[in-house]
Amino acid sequence: EAGVTQFPSHSVIEKGQTVTLRCDPISGHDNLYWYRRVMGKEIKFLLHFVKESKQDESGMPNNRFLAERTGGTYSTLKVQPAELEDSGVYFCASSQDPSSYEQYFGPGTRLTVT
């Protein structure tokens, strides 16, 4: 069974540019989560999808971040325009149901904004 995959693994962009990160959850997992880890800090929750619906987006830092999950399969996270403080590792995770204690994480996308 394939795990959670994320693309790209690394992205280096200039301030003001746009970047789109992609996450493919484990097949059959309705719940998809985005997290971010800024260097030196803890992993922080961004938002949670149940199928194509946003269940909880309380962690999204501002309106420069847009997450979508059309069709309830893969998800994208767009940052537009990117700022220096957006640099970090963006993780995606999926689970079968929201109360499941096990979330399966992807390897992350390392975003560097220069």
Nearest residue (CB) to other proteins, 17 versus 112: 112
Measured in Å, how far apart are the chain's first and last C-alpha atoms?
A: 37
Q: Name the minimum Å distance from CB 24 to other proteins.
A: 13
Is residue 6 within 8 A of residue 107, CB to CB? The reply is yes
CB of 83 to other proteins, least distance (A): 23
Q: Which parts of this chain interact with other proteins (CB under 8 A)?
A: 3-4, 33, 40-45, 48, 56, 59, 91, 98-99, 101-108
Residue closer to other proteins by CB (options 36, 113) is 36
Beta bridge partners of 77: 21, 67
For 51-87, b/e burial (b = at least 16 CB within 10 A) is eeeeeeeeebeeeebebebeeeebbebebeebeeebb
**Residue listed under structure tokens 């301030």:** 15
Cα(15)–Cα(1) distance, integer angstroms: 38
Cβ proximity to other proteins, 56 vs 68, nearer residue: 56
Q: CB of 70: closest distance to other proteins in angstroms?
A: 23
Which of residues 88 and 108 has its CB atom nearest to other proteins in the complex?
108
To other proteins, the closest distance from the beta carbon of 16 in angstroms equals 27
